[in-house]
Copies of this chain bind each other. A is one copy, B any other.
Amino acid sequence: MPYYIGDVIQDENKLIARTPEKFRETGIEVLTHTRVTGVDTAKGLVEIEGRPSLNYDYLVFATGASAFVPDIPGLDLPDVCSLRNLEDAIAIKARLKEINARRVVVVGAGFIGLEMSEALTETGIAVTVIHKDPLPANRWDPALSSMMLEELQSHGVNFVASASASVIEKGAGAPLCVKTSQGDFEGDLVLMAIGVRPNVALAKSIGLKIGETGAISVNFAQRTSVENIYAAGDCCESFHRVSRRWVNIPLGDIANKQGRVAGRNIGGRPLHFDGVVGAQSFRLFGLECAATGLTEKEAAAAGFSPVVNVTWGNTMAPAMGPRKIGLKLVADRSTGRLLGAQAVGAAGTVGRIDALSVALWNGMNLDQVGYLDLAYAPPFSAAWDVIHNAAQALGRSI
């Protein structure tokens, strides 16, 4: 019988935990809130706290990632929290209500910090975001993350730039105070949203190969360095089709694909995971923010000679109204090959990054991208889309 051992079973379609009983009906035994203390790979045994060990023919590591929290004093104070899974989200939501929170300090302006800023603002809570860099969302070009900053500020979010939190204390005017290099910021609750790290302690302890990224190394079948042990999701690496390196990109859609690939291979219907191109997105109030492929820096690290441009356009024919979009392209000077793209703008922005993700998947160059046949109609683009304009302009610059 397959076993699932973990904290919570989340059915995304319902946003509720699927119960162990429900799983049992389908022949899967689910052990929630159960701790694995070790694995005996020679005997094929999973050792469990307070329970007899379990035999396995195949073992899957789907240990995910945990929120990374910097080592500063005050993290143990009440209402200093991080958000990683559904249980965290439910607890934070309940707690905000319980204490009738009016002000929240978010530390970090990556995906989670930005998405939470929006969610909190929309419930009427005043949000301060403390970020280490001058602009939010570090991987984005400053021209594009400036748009994000404007969007944050126009919705009343207080963005504190170039600030590092040194300590969290009890506040004078509110229960908590985050002291930073740019001043002190008080709130009813503090959310640490610095990033995540793959959970690999157990994998390491049994000698699974860990990749350079710090995540579990797998092959194209999601098999780890041990024959009958597989890994999937945020705890493991995936192959980046543009850089041709193994990366750790902790995103739900990649995890889903890897899980299915692992299952197919264990179940005897082989499937090869073709890898990723780094497509990702988030919404920030009225803005769609999306990126794919490599940044300039990542491209250079992979041995390309990156050239870049940022092109401004509209997500509909200009005559129908201004719907701003900014698109950055990264390409290789020697081959003209597209290497990456980032975009921020109105509705339709994510769709463009999806199209460019498919272009990256296939190794297209700027000449081809500049004349792609896209589904033009005035409500959705100009006759020359910002994709065409950007690719042609960058191509001319080479």
Contact = CB atoms under 8 A, between A and B. Distances in A.
Contacts of A278: 373
Given A256-B383, A319-B15, A279 B371 contact: no
Interface stretch (A56-64, A158-166, A287-295): A287-295
B376 A12 contact: no
Interface string A245-263: 0000001111111000000
Contact of A350 (B241, B282, B375): B375
A357 B373 contact: yes
A312 interface: no
A120 interface: no
A110 interface: no
Nearest to A15: B319
Contact of A352 (B276, B277, B354, B359): B354
B379 A357 contact: no
A353 B372 CA distance: 13
A12 B355 contact: no
Given A13-B318, A15-B319, A362-B364, A252 B383 contact: yes
B380 A357 contact: no
Copies in the complex: 2
A368 B318 CA distance: 35
Contacts of A80: none
Interface string A337-361: 0000000000110111111111101
Nearest to A387: B354
Given A351-B352, A379-B283, A253 B374 contact: yes
B358 A253 contact: no
A279 B380 contact: no
Contact of A14 (B277, B319, B354): B319
A382 interface: yes
A374 B279 CA distance: 5
A353 B375 CA distance: 7
A253 to B, nearest CB: 4
A256 B358 CA distance: 23
A304 interface: no
Contacts of A275: 373
29 contacts: A12-B318, A13-B382, A15-B319, A251-B376, A252-B383, A253-B374, A253-B376, A257-B371, A274-B368, A274-B371, A275-B373, A279-B373, A281-B377, A290-B375, A292-B373, A292-B375, A348-B350, A350-B377, A351-B352, A351-B354, A353-B375, A354-B375, A356-B358, A357-B372, A358-B364, A361-B364, A361-B368, A361-B372, A362-B364
